[in-house]
Every structure is written in structure tokens, then in C-alpha cells.
Amino acid sequence: LFKSALMPCRLTFVTEDGDREYVAIFKHGDDLRQDQLILQTITLMDKLLRKENLDLKLTPYCVLATSTKHGFV
């Protein structure tokens, strides 16, 4: 658990064969739908700009809103 008002949880997922590890943060009590939309837009703009040889060195991350009060970052 992180020390913040919503106390998000850091989760580590390991693939069945053990080759890959995925880390996610689960947030309860936070609506991540707008975050998800904005980050999808930033990711799309980053791809379009890179096609035009404009690398802004953005590091967008993935957000998955699972409901209006839960989600993964």
C-alpha cells in the first residue's frame, strides 16, 4: 500500500511461465475514466508526432478504469 489518501495497492503479476513480470497500481475510490481517455489521446498524439520525426520524449502509461470507482494504472 502507498501512503496517500486513497491508499492504492502495488500489484505484481507474473506470467505463467515466469518470463515476464507486470507491475500495476490498483486504485479504489478514484474515477480513472478521464485519466484513461487523456492518456489514450496522448499516446495517439505521440505516435502521430513520431511519424513526423517529432519525438517529444513523452512517456505515457496505461490506465484501465474498471468502474467509476476502481481502476489500474
Residue 2 has pLDDT above 70, yes or no: no
What is the model's pLDDT at position 7? 80
> For the chain, what are the domain ranges?
9-72
- The pLDDT assigned to 51 comes to 96
- In angstroms, rounded to a whole number, what is the distance separating the alpha carbons of residues 35 and 64? 9
Please tell me the predicted confidence (pLDDT) of residue 52. Answer: 96
Q: Does domain 9-72 have CATH number 3.30.1010.10?
A: yes
Answer yes or no: is pLDDT of 1 > 80.
Answer: no
The pLDDT score that the predictor gives to residue 66 is: 94
Q: What is the pTM of this model?
A: 0.74
* Residues 27 and 64: beta-carbon distance below 8 Å: no
pLDDT tens figures, 11-62: 999 999 989 999 999 999 989 999 999 999 999 999 999 999 999 998 989 9
At position 13, the amino acid (one-letter code) is F
